[in-house]
Amino acid sequence: MSAQVAIRHRQGDFTLDVEFTAAAGGVTALFGPSGSGKSSIVHALAGLTRPDQGRIVLEGRTVLDTRAGIFVPPEKRRAGLVFQDARLFPHMNVEKNLLFGWRRSEMRASAPDVSRTIALLGLEPLLKRAPKHLSGGEKSRVALGRALLASPDILLLDEPLANLDAARRADILPWLERLRDIARIPIFYVSHSLDEVARLADRVVLLDAGRVRAQGSVFDLLAGLGAEKPLGAVLQATVGDIQDGLSTLLFDGGVLLATEVGQPGKQVRVRIGADEILIAREAPKAISANNILPVTISNVRLDGMRAEVEMHCGSARLVARITAASVQRLQLKAGICAFAVIKSVIVEGG
């Protein structure tokens, strides 16, 4: 099952006009700068706003069809929404907050399932606490649990980490990864953080000024994005044997080496910065970098003094940011074979 979305809505000067789909059991990131329409889409999905025109089908159930006059209100929509500011009920303790949606759900999760969700999010020690005695990260986890326990058909996360500092964010991300791996419902994740999207999402809907600029797999779409620290590649890899104290990471296109990251067989996600990739026309010898991948250049984009070189290694897409002068000197162009020298990789467990 899946979610199909088509929305057209005008609000003042802003026009939202989007169409996309999401698969079950996967995270679809709605990614774009602020004002691109991310939150408007989430509110429309939850039923908190009623678009001028549109059709939304969740798990085969039409919850909005303006042409047919269908509008399922939020309380009947079974769309779990986790707000940026958590929005826990201040007059209820954590346990009552968690069970608020569960009590009202038509398909109540069984008691063991409830306990499992509470355990998954590490909430047992917090159950009797009042929301005001929780840290920001704990509030996010309770909000997540509360939405999950209502047995929703779809889970909407509206920048759940935006209000947290870097340390708290690092606390929460593993919980979200666990959630992603066990949830059987489509998850929409709204974010303007490239790193979060690269780490969590399976699919990405790129939004800009109320339009869908692109949509596709996180591995294809993210490389090359980002202004300050552009992303060079996002790869899914399997941890292999340990060689010389380094873990081998097998991906579709070759093998990467990284400092030890865990047991063989484990699935990990690898991120490489676009500034961390060098290009060589010949296989370099006697070089400190551990990772040198043979690649085929598929595109070269010049932008003033800078250049973005797009390459493929197997099905993996890599983008390096180098100077226009280097492109000239090496005579890089689409179709030629070269070597990508990777200075460093970031590995995150999945």
Partner 1 sequence: MPFLTPDEIEALLLSLKIASVAVAVALPFAVATALILARSFRGKALLDGIVQLPLVLPPVAMGFLLLVTFGTRGGVGAFLKDHFGIVLVFRWTGAVLASAIFTFPFQVRSIRLALEAQDMGLDEAARTLGAGWFDRLVNITLPLALPGLVAGAITAFAGALGEFGAIITFVSNIPGETRTLPLAIYTALQTPGGEAEAARLSALSILLAFLFLLGAQAIMRRATAKAGR
Distance between CA 5 and CA 9 in Å, rounded?
A: 13
Element (H, E) at 327: helix 324-330
- CB nearer to partner 1: give 153 or 202: 153
Distance between CA 121 and CA 138 in Å, rounded?
A: 9
Q: Is 100 in the site for partner 1 (CB under 8 A)?
A: yes
- CB nearer to partner 1: give 151 or 290: 151
Q: Is 213 in the site for partner 1 (CB under 8 A)?
A: no
Distance between CA 142 and CA 134 in Å, rounded?
A: 9
Distance between CA 56 and CA 228 in Å, rounded?
A: 35
CB 176 within 8 A of CB 137: no
Q: How far is the CB of 230 from partner 1 (least distance, A)?
A: 35
Q: How far is the CB of 140 from partner 1 (least distance, A)?
A: 13
Among 16, 41, 46, 200, binds partner 1 (CB under 8 A): 46
Distance between CA 348 and CA 261 in Å, rounded?
A: 8
Q: Is 76 in the site for partner 1 (CB under 8 A)?
A: yes
Among 24, 120, 127, 130, binds partner 1 (CB under 8 A): 130
Part of the chain binding partner 1 (CB under 8 A), chosen from 25-33, 101-109, 189-197, 292-300: 101-109
Distance between CA 145 and CA 133 in Å, rounded?
A: 17
Which 3 state secondary structure label does DSSP give 25? coil
Sign of CA dihedral 139, 142, 148, 149: negative
Part of the chain binding partner 1 (CB under 8 A), chosen from 57-65, 81-89, 287-295, 300-308: 81-89
Q: How far is the CB of 292 from partner 1 (least distance, A)?
A: 50
Q: Is 89 in the site for partner 1 (CB under 8 A)?
A: yes
Q: Is 14 in the site for partner 1 (CB under 8 A)?
A: no
Site string for partner 1, 140-169 (x = CB under 8 A): ------xx--x-------------------
Q: Closest Cα to residue 321, out of 338, 296, 346, 301?
A: 301
Which 3 state secondary structure label does DSSP give 94? helix
Q: Pairing between strand 53-58 and 14-23?
A: unpaired
Q: How far is the CB of 138 from partner 1 (least distance, A)?
A: 14
Tokens 């869908």, residue located: 212
Among 25, 26, 74, 122, binds partner 1 (CB under 8 A): 74
CB 51 within 8 A of CB 8: yes
Among 18, 32, 38, 47, binds partner 1 (CB under 8 A): 47
- CB nearer to partner 1: give 141 or 269: 141
Which two structure tokens, joined as six digits, stand for 169? 């964010």
Q: Is 67 in the site for partner 1 (CB under 8 A)?
A: no
**Number of residues located near partner 1, criterion CB under 8 A:** 28
Note the residues at the interface with partner 1 (CB under 8 A).
46-48, 73-81, 83, 85, 87, 89-91, 100-101, 104-105, 130-132, 146-147, 150
